[in-house]
Amino acid sequence: MLSIKKIPVQPYRIIFILVGIVVLLLADRLVSKLLDWPTPVERLQLNLMDTAMRLRGTRTPAGQVVIVAIDDRSFDYTGYHWPWPRAYLAEIIKFLDASGARVIGLDVLLFGPDPDPQGDKALADAIAKAGNVVAVMNISRSAGTEMLELPVDPYPQVLVGMGIAGIQADKDAIIRRVQAYDYSAYDESNHLNWGLEVARLSLGLPPASLVSADRLSFAGLDIPLQDGRLLVDYSGPPGTFPYYPAFQVALGDYPAETFKDKIVLIGSTSVTLQDVHPMPLSTQKRMPGVEVIANLVETVLSGRFRMVAPVTVDVLMLVVVAVFAGLVDRRRKPGSAILIMLGAMLVLAVTWFLLSTRFNWQFELASPELMLLLGISIPSFDQSIGMELERRRLQKLFGQFVAPEIISQMMNVPEASQLNKRANLTILFSDIRNFTSLSEKLSPEEVIGILNPYLEAMTSVIHRNGGTVDKYIGDAIVAFFGEPVPFTDHAVRAVRTALEMRRELEKLRQAGRRDGRFEGVFEIGIGIHTGDVFVGMIGSQQRLSYTVIGDVVNVASRLQDQTKLHGCPILLSGQVNEQVSDQFATEFVAEGLLKGKQETVRMYKVVDTV
């Protein structure tokens, strides 16, 4: 049997492939830190994060955060252009204060004075009376200089808090996180995001006791960060939080209960003011910046912080997955390796999804998944190519000996064993009688004209019965039955082959008589013997032969010689007769010593002969 499905795996090739993939994935991660645009693996990871959030679905906010929207309806109703008169903003603040709002966040720049001095006074008075308003500040940097931009006086004195805007898109322009803080060398202070200031005040917490790139600490509250940024756990797409048009709030169209004890964020939702951004749950319909902050506040209040595994965990996981891929690659069946790969990828993805959506803890999924995909599929593909090359090599090699359909059967035998073995086979030895004297009367061209059609016809008969042509010795043919595909009835197949060879010979003789090629007597003798022989590949790298070695071959040859003496075209040994007597009519011919043998051999003829 052929060992096609179990080609030895070369460990050094697998190791080389796996190490190469690990290096490429780590290099992608390193390069991503240096570029302003996402690398392929980084982009894949970002898309996976977004997909997980979409599959999780919308979460209904707790109802503590609402938005007063400076929207297109408010622009149409008031007729104001941007920026709005601050006296009008004062009316909104007054109504919210009267309604009992807990904290008011004002996402409006107050960096310069209002054209109407009374407007600044009215808004400052409203803010002072409310005593719970947070506004936006900014730290700008240009050409190595830094500027701290604060609301103009008297706003810093009446605001309870100020914070940076800090909405930063990822490299693919999608808002997944906000800048948690920024350090100003101007006043040597860390300034939190204004949304975090709103959340801190609503929880009644003192200023942060620790500000670092990976953590913000308040009294009783720790907020995890990644490089100073906070991942926002979005509740849903744009419009998930309640919007109340600013002009209706200024008119007092809502009952006080609408804003009582609520966190109210005032900001633009109009597309014309360009404070809208693509976000994970909606890249087409963009989310206003004020609602991004609403999601930030909700994240802090709910405590659903998205924990990100450190780099060391991601690297360790990548190495573990690479080792797993290496173990799978040692399997000798690429098909099963691919199935294991798909199953492992599915388990890893489901685990990552559950950790991400239920526990808000996530690790990098893209690199391990790619490690599994490439680390198993590439070696499997490489092994498949090797198997195909080996298949073709063996087909070419065994095409000299056996029929194409037998080769196909050999290729599909699942329980393969070594080609070189000791086996019980049946040997058939045939020879054309008196061919040497006959060929002396013919030209070389005439000899070939007789011999080639004969060998072609006899070989076809041998192949048709599952036999293997060992060799041609001039006009003699040595064939064996039972390997490389084991047939338990190899003796029966050999005798059937001998009978069919006789019939094919008669067809050749009749055709020869018609065209004058076969003058005189053209006869063959066939000897058949069964026994244990060595069968396998014999030769050198330059020339290999699939052959049999053993005394059984010599006995078959001597039996062929005896066909002339006893006048029988086919002679079987006693061992063969024991296996075929129930299939063919045989008669005992003689028992005697064969040339080179010390034990007598019983000889039988086949009665059904041509």
Q: What is the CATH number of the domain that holds 596?
A: 3.30.70.1230
Q: Tell me: do 363 and 511 sit in the same domain.
A: no
Look at residue 260 and tell me if it is in a domain: yes
Considering the domain architecture, whether residues 423 and 498 belong to the same structural domain is answered as: yes
pLDDT at 54 over 70: yes
Q: What pLDDT was estimated at residue 417?
A: 43
Mark whether 219 and 151 lie in a shared domain.
Answer: yes
Contact (Cβ atoms closer than 8 angstroms) between residue 66 and residue 265: yes
Q: Does residue 451 sit in the same domain as residue 361? A: no
Measured CA angle at 114 (ends 136, 201), to 5 deg: 25
Instruction: Give me the domain span that covers residue 158.
Output: 63-308
- The β-bridge partners of 264 are 66, 104
Whether residue 30 lies inside any domain: the answer is: no
Find the mean pLDDT for residues 471-485. 89
Identify whether residues 195 and 279 lie together within a single domain: yes
Indicate if 265 and 360 belong to the same structural domain.
Answer: no
Same domain, 392 and 411: no
Please enumerate in sequence order all residues whose Cβ is within 8 A of that of 385, keeping only pairs 6 or more positions apart, or say none. none
Nearest to 42 by CA among 213, 181, 174: 174
Q: Is the pLDDT of residue 331 over 70?
A: no
Domain co-membership, 237 together with 223:
yes
Domain boundary among 398, 429, 448: 398
pLDDT of residue 419: 64
CB 98 within 8 A of CB 273: no
Q: 284 and 320: one domain?
A: no
The DSSP H or E segment spanning 276 is: strand 276-279
pLDDT of residue 610: 46
Q: What mean pLDDT comes out for the span 165-185?
A: 90
Cα separations in angstroms, 524 against 228, 476, 511, 528, 555:
95, 9, 17, 13, 17
Most confidently modeled range among 27-31, 196-200, 303-307, 388-392: 196-200
Instruction: Give the three-class secondary structure for 7.
Output: coil
For 396-448, what is each residue's pLDDT tens digit? 666 655 556 556 555 554 443 456 789 999 999 999 988 877 777 778 887 88
Q: How far apart are CA 362 and CA 356, in angstroms?
A: 5
Mean pLDDT over 564-590 rounds to 93
CB 77 within 8 A of CB 69: no
Residue 222 lies in a domain: yes
Under 8 Å between Cβ of 279 and 287: yes
Task: Tell me the pLDDT tens digit for each residue of 376-389.
Answer: 888 777 666 766 67
Task: Specify whether 253 is located in the same domain as 352.
Answer: no
Residues 17/379, Cβ–Cβ less than 8 Å: yes
Average pLDDT rounded to a whole number, residues 319-335? 80
For residue 535, being part of any structural domain is answered with yes
Cβ neighbours, 10 Å, residue 582: 8
Q: What are the tens digits of pLDDT across the range 63-116?
A: 999 999 999 999 999 999 999 999 999 999 999 999 999 999 999 999 999 999
Q: Are residues 414 and 349 in the same domain?
A: no
Which residue, 285, 308, 331, sits at the end of a domain?
308
Q: Name the residue among 591, 606, 412 with its Cα closest to residue 494.
A: 606
Residue 26 lies in a domain: no
> Does 280 lie in the same domain as 139?
yes
Find where tokens 């194409």 sit: 404
């008589």: which residue's tokens?
513
Task: Decide which of 345, 379, 398 is a domain's last residue.
Answer: 398
Domain count, the chain: 3
What pLDDT, on the 0 to 100 scale, is given for residue 410?
Answer: 53
Q: Which amino acid is at 548?
A: V
Residue 53 resides in a domain: no
Q: Is residue 46 a part of any domain in this protein?
A: no
> Is residue 8 domain-resident?
no
